[in-house]
């Protein structure tokens, strides 16, 4: 009995969007600044209607301006969220409306003793989070100038400010304003935490595309540590496109890259299917290993089965109107695997077994999978192999090789 190989997993369905995504939009279609703008306008729609109702209760004559602003924010939210209007114009219009309405709220809500200070703080937070470059400096300066002007005007002409009708109205307005701004802050934090989580997920996914999972975790906790592990039983496969140099001379650069991407992307799906580790591509050469970084009993069988599917795929398809052939070499034995360098990390394998696998490919023939005796002993019960004449391998001398014909099962 031989170990079975896992099949390629089907892509899982996307999870339902959470509340933040529904309100603020899905990245990367919406940038963090656009998401915050959507949250700000959406929150102001709800807050405006609630404040209009509250002003009716406490008798503040600011109901109609607030309702007009609510309708204005509905339009801004629609344009920003569903029409994806440019960020800068929408943000500037929103900040301008805030700066125009806040003085009215200051006058109608007991000035410096009232709750308008809370909304100046939320407006400042919105400006610092959403505006960019010179616009940020401009709006911050205007906001501070407005606050100073309002304080100065109230000091010179206190009769212009309307006090609260009662102490109860004062407490109600302060409490309502505090909780409204607190809810806005919580949403602001939620959007930023969500984006931070998403960036971490993207960074982790990129890292896992470069390094094996277990190696990435070791580097995460000990980034300065040298990672080098000895693996006594592993297999290495090299695959090379035959006649690639003259082939590339007849293709445009973009056609050449698309061809390699098409071929190697399929090889990547096979590597995932068989649970082996893609090491790297070097030009038109594809290198993959089994048994690293996690040991497995059927490392040679896994690579051999993958090699058969690689050859079958290339032989059965045209690429840029041309037929391709592969030379594939496999060897098994002890290797050292690890990460080299301090920048642009690369997971690699070294050892005589790796060099010999490379020689199996370079001394091979088109559309042939050539393996060493070490690999043959591990796969002979599962695959039909044909012995060949000895190959004179540089540094090793005459070496017995086999050609893999097919799987027995």
Would you say residue 195 has pLDDT above 90? no
Domains by residue range for the chain, with CATH = 19-207 (no CATH), 224-407 (3.30.70.1230)
- Cα(386)–Cα(378) distance, rounded to whole angstroms? 14
Hey, is 201 helix, strand or coil? helix
Torsion angle of the four alpha carbons 64, 70, 76, 81, in this order, in degrees rounded to the nearest 10: -170
Hey, is 232 helix, strand or coil? strand
Strand ranges in 126-284 using DSSP code E only, listed in sequence order: 227-241, 277-282
- DSSP letter string over 46-98? HHHHHHHHHHHHHT-S-HHHHHHHHHHHHHHHHHHHTS---HHHHHHHHHHHH
CA atoms within 13 A on the CB side of 170: 11
User: What are the pLDDT digits (tens) for 180-194?
Assistant: 888 888 888 888 888
Hey, is 342 helix, strand or coil? coil
User: What are the pLDDT digits (tens) for 320-344?
Assistant: 777 899 999 999 999 999 887 777 7
Would you say residue 13 has pLDDT above 70? no
User: In the chain, pLDDT over 70 holds for what percent of residues?
Assistant: 93
pLDDT of residue 17: 57
Angle formed by the axes of helices 133-156 and 87-108, to 10°? 10
- Angle among Cα 216, 219, 225 to the nearest 5 degrees reads 145
Nearest CA-CA partner of 301 in 292, 290, 311, 312? 290
Would you say residue 8 has pLDDT above 50? no
Residues recorded for the chain: 409
User: What are the pLDDT digits (tens) for 300-312?
Assistant: 999 999 999 999 9
pLDDT of residue 205: 77
User: What are the pLDDT digits (tens) for 80-106?
Assistant: 999 989 999 999 999 998 888 888 889
Tokens of 100: 């125009």
pLDDT of residue 223: 59
pLDDT of residue 9: 40
The gap between the terminal CA atoms of the chain, to the nearest Å, is 11
Would you say residue 60 has pLDDT above 80? no
pLDDT band at 11 (very low <50, low <70, confident <90, very high): very low
- Angle among Cα 92, 95, 98 to the nearest 5 degrees reads 150
User: What are the pLDDT digits (tens) for 109-145?
Assistant: 888 888 888 889 889 988 998 988 899 999 999 999 9
Tokens of 243: 């006649």
pLDDT (mean) for 48-58: 85
Hey, is 274 helix, strand or coil? helix
pLDDT band at 4 (very low <50, low <70, confident <90, very high): very low
- Cα(372)–Cα(377) distance, rounded to whole angstroms? 9
pLDDT band at 226 (very low <50, low <70, confident <90, very high): low
Residue located via tokens 């086999």: 402
User: In the chain, pLDDT over 90 holds for what percent of residues?
Assistant: 43
What value does the mean pLDDT of the chain take?
A: 86
pLDDT of residue 199: 80
Residue located via tokens 């700066």: 99
Would you say residue 396 has pLDDT above 60? yes
Between 6-15, 251-260, 323-332, 341-350, the lowest mean confidence (pLDDT) is in 6-15
- Cα(281)–Cα(277) distance, rounded to whole angstroms? 12
pLDDT band at 1 (very low <50, low <70, confident <90, very high): very low
Nearest CA-CA partner of 303 in 337, 334, 335, 277? 277
More confident residue, 394 or 154: 154
pLDDT of residue 328: 96
């Amino acid at each position: 009995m031989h170990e079975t190989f896992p099949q390629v997993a089907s892509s899982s369905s996307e999870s339902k969007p959470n509340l933040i995504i529904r309100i603020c939009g899905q990245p990367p279609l919406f940038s963090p600044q656009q998401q915050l703008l959507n949250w700000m306008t959406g929150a102001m729609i709800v807050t405006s209607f609630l404040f209009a109702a509250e002003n009716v209760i406490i008798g503040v004559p600011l109901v109609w301006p607030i309702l007009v602003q609510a309708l204005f924010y509905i339009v801004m939210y629609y344009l920003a969220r569903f029409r994806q209007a440019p960020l800068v114009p929408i943000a500037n219009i929103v900040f301008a409306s805030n700066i125009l309405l806040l003085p009215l709220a200051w006058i109608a809500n007991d000035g410096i003793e009232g709750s308008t200070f809370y909304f100046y703080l939320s407006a400042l937070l919105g400006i610092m989070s959403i505006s960019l470059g010179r616009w940020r400096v401009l709006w911050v300066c205007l906001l501070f100038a407005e606050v100073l002007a309002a304080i100065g005007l109230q000091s010179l002409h206190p009769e212009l400010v309307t006090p609260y009708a009662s102490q109860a109205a004062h407490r109600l307005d302060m409490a309502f304003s505090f909780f409204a701004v607190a809810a806005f802050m919580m949403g602001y934090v939620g959007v930023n935490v969500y984006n931070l989580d998403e960036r971490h997920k993207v960074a982790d996914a990129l890292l896992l595309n470069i390094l094996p999972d277990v190696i990435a975790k070791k580097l995460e906790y000990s980034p300065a540590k040298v990672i080098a592990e000895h693996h006594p039983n592993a297999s290495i496969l090299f695959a090379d496109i035959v006649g690639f140099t003259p082939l590339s001379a007849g293709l445009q650069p973009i056609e050449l890259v698309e061809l390699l991407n098409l071929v190697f992307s399929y090889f990547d799906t096979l590597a995932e299917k068989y649970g082996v580790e893609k090491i790297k591509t070097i030009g038109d050469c594809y290198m993959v290993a089994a048994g690293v970084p996690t040991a497995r009993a059927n490392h040679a069988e896994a690579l051999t089965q993958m090699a058969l599917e690689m050859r079958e795929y290339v032989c059965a398809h045209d690429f840029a109107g041309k037929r391709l052939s592969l030379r594939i070499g496999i060897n098994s034995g002890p290797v050292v695997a690890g990460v080299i360098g301090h920048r642009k990390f690369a997971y690699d394998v070294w050892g005589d077994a790796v060099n010999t696998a490379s020689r199996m490919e370079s001394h091979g023939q088109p559309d042939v999978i050539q393996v060493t005796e070490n690999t043959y002993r591990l796969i002979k019960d599962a695959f039909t192999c044909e012995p060949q004449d000895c190959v004179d391998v540089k540094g090793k001398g005459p070496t017995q090789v086999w050609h893999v014909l097919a799987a027995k099962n």
